[in-house]
Every structure is written in C-alpha cells, then in structure tokens.
Amino acid sequence: MSAAERFLQRLTARRADDPSWVAARRQAGAARFEAMGFPTRRDEHWKYTDVRRIAEGDFALATDAAFDTTRFDEQRLDIDAYRLVLVDGRFSPALSELDGLPAGVSVEPLSQALEANHESVGGSLGRLAGVDFSPFTALNTAFADEGAVIRLAAGTVVDKPIYLLMLSRADAEPVMSHPRVLIEAGARAEATVIEHYSGEPEAANFTNVVTEVLLDRGAIIDHYKLQEAALTDLHVASIHVDQGRDSHFNSYNLNLGGALVRTDLVTDLNAEGAEAAYNGLFFVQGRQHVDNHTLVNHNAPRTFSNENYKGVLDDRSRGVFNGKVFVKKDAQQIEAYQNNANLLLSDRAEIDTKPELVIYADDVKCSHGATTGQLDEEAVYALRSRGIDEPMARALLTLAFVGEVMDKVGLNVIAERVERAVAGRLPERFNLAELVETAEAIQET
Amino acid sequence: MLEVKDLHVTIEDKVILKGLNLTINAGEVHAIMGPNGAGKSTLSAVIAGKDGYEVTQGTILFEGQDVLEMEIEERARAGLLLGFQYPIEIPGVKNIYLLKAALNAQRAARGEGEIPAPEFMKLVREKSAEMKMDPSFLQRAVNEGFSGGEKKRNEILQMLILQPKLAMLDEIDSGLDIDAMKVVADGVNSLRNADRAILLVTHYQRLLNHIVPDHVHVLVDGRIVKSGGKELALELEDRGYDWVLEESVA
C-alpha cells in the first residue's frame, strides 16, 4: 500500500451526510492525491524540502475539540477580536467568540457552512486552490470538513480583527487536520484576518491548511499568519489570493514554530490597481526546517507587488525561500519589488534562496535581490566598545534585523509577541521588554 | 591612569607603532598630533581593543590593569571609551537601546543594579539637550541617516552618559562646521574634571582652540618624537611637521 493510500483510508465513514457537490469534490481530491502521491525531492517545487516525515507518519483524525482552558489562555493572542477556534481541526464553540458581528459580515465554521449548503460557498470553495496545485491541496480537498468561511458584504468595514486560532494538542496518538479557510471580501470591504497556529508544546501533529481569499474591487484585506506551532509539529499551508481592481492584500507570514513547515503563497493580480504586499519572517533554530514559496502573478496592467522576506537561522536549522514574480505579456506599467535577506547565526544553518522574475511585458519596473550573511562584525565591535557584552550585542543586532519586518506589522499585539519570542530565544539577560518600555515612555513625554 | 610603554603594533605585517611611550594622569588633557599615516588612530584603536591590530611588544596599563588582557567590553566598563572618527550606522538598533544597555552593563560591572527608568530618562534628556540633539534622535537607529556632525555629537552624547575615566576622541573635529565644533567642544569640556583624563587625536590645531590641552605630543612614524605644552600645537600649525622630524632625526 502506498503512503497516499494509507492516508486516504482515514477518509472512510467521514461525513456521509455531505451535500453531493462536496462529496464529488472530495472524491476528486482523493483521486488526484492518490495519483500524485506525496512529492519527492525530484520534484522541482520540493527540491529542498523532504516530506518523508509526513508521508511515513500515521495520523488519526481528532474526534473532539477539548482543550485545557489555562493553556488556551496562555496560547491565545490577547486581542479584542471575533474569534473562531479549531482544536486539531475540530470546531470548538466553547472557545470561540463570534457574537456581535457587524451587519454584512459572516464568520462561520466550514462544517456549518457546508451543512447550510450555501450556494456561494459551493461556488467559491476550491476555485483558487485546485486539486492540481499540489498533492497537499488535493489531500486537503479530500479531507476538509472543517475550517472557516468569512464573507464580507460590499462596503463593510469590520471593526475588529477576525481571529482564527488553530490549536494542536499533544494526544496519545498524532493526528492530522486539513482546515479550509475561505475569505470572500465584497467590493470595498475591509478586514483584518489572523490565522494563528499554536498549541501544546509536546504536540506532534500534521496540519495541512488551504486558504482561499477573494477580493472584489477596492477590497482591503490584511492577512496575518502567525505560525507558532510546537517544535515537533508538521505544518503545510497554501494561501491563494485572487485580486480585483484596486484591491489591496497585505500578507504577514510569520513563522517561529514547527519542525517541518512549508507555506505556498500565491496571488493573482487580475485587474488594474490591484496591489499585494508580502511581508515574511522566519526565525528557526535546532533542526527546524521552514520553506516559503511565494508567487505573484501580474495578470493585468498597472498592478503592484512588494515583497520583503527575512529569515534568521540558528543551530542546524534550514530555510528555503523561493519567490517568483510572473508578469504577463500585456501587463504593462506594473511595479514588482522583491527582497529576501537572511541572517545565519550558526555555521551549520543553511538557507536556499531563489528569487525568480519572469517578465513578458516590456514597460515594467521590477527589482529583486537576495542577501545572506552573518551579523555585521563592525556593529558588534561598536556595541562592545560601549561596554555591551558580545552575546547582548549579537542579540540587539538580531532583534534589529527582525525589527525591520516588525515595523510593518500594524497589529502591536502580534509585533510584540514576535519580538518577545525572538528575544526569548536570545540570552535571557537581555531585558528587551524593559528597553522597549523605556523607549516608549521617553517618546510619550 | 594610563601608561603605555614601548608599544609596537603591526597591522597585517605592516609595522605602525614602533616603541611608543605615553603616560596620562587623571585630570589631564593630552593631544596627539602628527602627519597622516603616523599611527595616531592606531594608538587609540589598540587601547580600545579593535580587532586586526597585533601588539608585538610593550604594555598598556590602565589604573594598574593590563589592558591588553581585557575584552573590548571590559575596557569600556572599566572606563576606557573611544569616540570614533567614523562612527558606523547600526540599522534597527535605537540610540536609546544602546545607551541603556551600555549604561547598565557598566553599572553591573560595578556591582550596581539597573538604572531606574525615570532616572535614566531624566539623564538622557538632560544630556541630549546639552548636545543640542532633539530627543527624537534617541528613537532613531544609531547614526542611521545622521549627518557627519550629528554622528560626532552622538559620540559625545555617549561619553556624557557613560562618564568614562579616560575619554579618547579620534579626529572628533573632522567634518564639523564651526557651530557643530563648538557644541562638540563644549560637550568635551564639560567632561573635564580632576578625576578624568582626555586623549585627543587630531590632525589640526583648530580643535585645540576650543579644547585647550595640557600636553601636546607629536607622533611621527610610530613614535612620539616631541612633547610640549599647548604652545607646541600653535608652532605645528605655523611650521608644519617637517621640522619636528628633522629635529628628531638629528
């Protein structure tokens, strides 16, 4: 039996009451996954990422959504938001808080949306993330029975962030979950959506999430993906974005956790004035492996993209950055900028970075660049020459490197959490919080 | 306070200092002058512990301690600070982070606790006003986008806050217009007291009109070839360095 067949065995007897179109889609996903099997490193898109740890695993499906409430309070972001919580892929009504949504805004678990069999969900789900995109999207399509469906009517501005919290438990046997997120923003609708992956530190589960985002004319979506999964968790995600005229999609892809992490981010800029900003950060240590594949398709004239990914790699960790910008033949006067900078804190850490520009139009402004290096030794010396010891000097400079991405983060609660997490991995004598507080206090007076 | 004896230094096999002797006592201001390439900057860099210099012979004692055995940060905490000729930019590290981390490191070395936030805030506000620096500078990354004059003022601000025992200033006057020179000189002069010494490294005499030294030394080809009072600087301004060199050879 192949690994793919073994995974698909878990499908039996699940959701027999699916609407027929869902059942058909599941079958298509399963068939495609079985045909493709798990990717191997011979596959160009998976050249630097070995998924055998997933393929050789045996993952059950969780049957309940219980979660320790003390741990829940520790893990969740302290933020005033509309919150939808999944535990190992199961919806938790008890931990969710979806009351008081403004008119024109709906946030519901996928299971409810499927039960209600909304026509709009049927039409949009899978439109962007087809089963051919990767074996993992096919696998997700076969299994996805939970997730979140967010719909914003034209002109609605959501007053608080919509917060999707996906928790991973340390159960007796490892589990897999295949959450599916659909965000449909009507014309000129505005919202901030947070996908937050966290859980119990001992968890060793496999999460395979697919997110689809549709932005109608003039819509603005800030999309945060804060991945702080357990250091033993396996995490695969793909995010697919379709942008209409004058829409803005701002992505913040922040990766701190996970043993093996792969994220694909794909945006189609389909009409004039559409603009995408990709901000990425990964900070890995130990033997963590984080792979980011990004793609921007400039399909229409006068579209804009700006990408800035930064990586910090310590110990024997491994990073991959593959960023592609594709400009169609008639997509004139577009602007596309891409930058990837990596900081290696250890001789044994490794990064494979590959920026790609494919341009068929002739009147464009594009630039790309990738740098990988160590800390600036001149700066280390300058700090030490003022009495700051070497570990602290290196910590300050590492934090500064991360800070450049964090400065773009509009949600303070996330910026602070990431900075604290980064500082927490640096020598503990480094009292970051106190420094930041003092700086803020001086600014205020 | 500082005793440099028979100091020989090479950089990548090139001999820069060839037996330099210098004694500085508390309360004194010394100026080291000399033509380009004489080794002026090397002296202060070696005392501060910059990498890339090899001391092949000689000793440096600071308050009786062997400086060459101390780490860079230990020297700073002991009270040896160097103001750079070309202060580097440190993107992302706020001035305020540097100042506080440096001050607390120094206090910890003395066995004192961290400085209370209100006290620190009062201190930095006062001192930045003295250096005519807008408080917004404190929030900016160290030297990033600063003009030449702002960088130099920032070096002096660090001195005012860290209060070194021996302040070494390498070409602190280079790139300054007359107003900035005045601010920098006032800052340095405010550091003068009976317990502190200052070592100025400079190519030009004009700085010494503002910061009047007690002793002037002429460094030529890796050695101090002549020492004197503040009037020596004026003589050098008038006559250049050649006569000193001829005198020393003779």
A17-26, A216-225, A260-269, B189-198: least confidently modelled range? A17-26
Backbone φ, ψ for residue A96 (5° rounding)? -90, 155
Give the class (CATH, top level) of B2-249: alpha beta
Place of tokens 């959701």: A15
A111-125, A236-250, B5-19: least confidently modelled range? A111-125
Which among A216, A232, A305, A317 has a CA at the least distance from the CA of A265? A305
Backbone φ, ψ for residue A146 (5° rounding)? -145, 160
Shortest CA gap B101–chain A (Å): 6
A438/B100 CB distance under 8 A: yes
A390/B73 CB distance under 8 A: yes
User: What is the reported pLDDT for A438?
Assistant: 65
User: What is the reported pLDDT for A423?
Assistant: 76
Asked if B137 and B145 touch (Cβ cutoff 8 Å), the reply is no
A379/B88 CB distance under 8 A: yes
Distance CA A259, CA A230 (A): 8
User: What is the reported pLDDT for A395?
Assistant: 86
Give the residue-averaged pLDDT of B13-22. Answer: 93
Query: Which residues is A262 bridged to in the sheet?
Result: A236, A291
Query: Side chain identity at B215, as an amino acid letter?
Result: H
3 state DSSP class of A256 = coil
Reply yes or no on whether the pLDDT at A1 is more than 90.
no
User: What is the reported pLDDT for A276?
Assistant: 98
The rounded percent of chain A whose pLDDT value lies above 90 is 76
Distance CA A88, CA A172 (A): 13
Reply yes or no on whether the pLDDT at A12 is more than 90.
no
User: What is the reported pLDDT for A301?
Assistant: 98
User: What is the reported pLDDT for A364?
Assistant: 95
Structure-model confidence comparison of residues B205 and A15, the more confident one: B205
Six-digit token string for B33: 């002058």
Query: Which residues is A261 bridged to in the sheet?
Result: A235, A290
Distance CA A368, CA A336 (A): 8
Residues in B touching A390 (Cβ below 8 Å): 71, 73
> Which residue in A has a C-alpha nearest to residue B137's C-alpha?
A443
* Tens digit of each residue's pLDDT (9 = 90 or more) over A90-115: 999 999 999 999 999 999 999 998 88
- Prediction ipTM score: 0.94
User: What is the reported pLDDT for A320?
Assistant: 97
* Tens digit of each residue's pLDDT (9 = 90 or more) over A309-329: 999 999 999 999 999 999 999
What are the distances in angstroms from CA A400 to CA A177, A246, A270, A416? 36, 33, 36, 13
> Which residue in A has a C-alpha nearest to residue B136's C-alpha?
A443
For chain A, helix, strand, coil in percent to 5 are 25, 35, 40
Cβ-based contacts under 8 A for chains A and B: 105
The rounded percent of chain B whose pLDDT value lies above 90 is 70
Distance CA B125, CA B139 (A): 12
User: What is the reported pLDDT for A426?
Assistant: 64
A73-87, A103-117, A188-202: least confidently modelled range? A103-117
Six-digit token string for A278: 């990709």
- Which is it for strands A105-109 and A147-152: parallel, antiparallel or unpaired? antiparallel
Residue A58: CB partners within 8 Å, gap ≥ 6?
Answer: A6, A173, A174
Residue A13: CB partners within 8 Å, gap ≥ 6?
Answer: none
User: What is the reported pLDDT for A302?
Assistant: 98
User: What is the reported pLDDT for A429?
Assistant: 46
| Residues of B at the A interface, defined by Cβ within 8 angstroms | 48-51, 71-73, 76-77, 81-82, 84, 87-88, 90-94, 96-98, 100-102, 105-106, 109, 114, 117, 120-121, 124-125, 135, 138-139, 141-142, 158, 162
User: What is the reported pLDDT for A443?
Assistant: 62
When the pLDDT of each residue in chain A is averaged and rounded to a whole number, the result is: 92
Domain boundaries, chain A: 3-271, 377-445
Reply yes or no on whether the pLDDT at A428 is more than 70.
no
Stated as kind and residue range, the H or E segment containing B42 is helix B40-48
Residues in A touching B76 (Cβ below 8 Å): 384-387
The rounded percent of chain A whose pLDDT value lies above 70 is 93
Residue A411: CB partners within 8 Å, gap ≥ 6?
Answer: A79, A161, A192, A194, A224
* Tens digit of each residue's pLDDT (9 = 90 or more) over B40-60: 899 999 999 998 999 999 999
